[in-house]
Amino acid sequence: MAGHNTAAVITKLTVQRASRDSILLMHDIHLWTVDAAAPTIDALQKQGYTLVTVIQLLGSTKPGKLYPAA
């Protein structure tokens, strides 16, 4: 992902590609992703998106189980 490792680029791409029912997965092992989290959330909320957690979306989950109907 060369050239994509800045918070500004991650935020821009995520906001551009978000759509209804999108699930965003942001790995906290990358500093630029951590730095992009707050501005991404702010930008999506300004566009009218409602953000929920996985538990809010699916209820209680179990490791290793698939949830294809989600």
Query: 23-57 burial, b for 16+ CB within 10 Å, e for fewer?
Result: eeeeeeeeeebeebbebbbebbeeeebeeeeeeee
Q: Is the pLDDT of residue 3 over 80?
A: no
pLDDT of residue 1: 46
Residue 7, token pair as written in the block = 């918070």
Q: Is the pLDDT of residue 2 over 60?
A: no
Contacts of residue 23, defined as CB under 8 A and 6 or more positions apart, other chains included, come to 57
Total-model pTM: 0.77
- Chain segment 15-34, per-residue pLDDT in tens: 999 998 888 888 889 899 99
State the chain's mean pLDDT as an integer. 89
**Where would I find the H helices in the chain?**
7-17, 31-46, 54-58
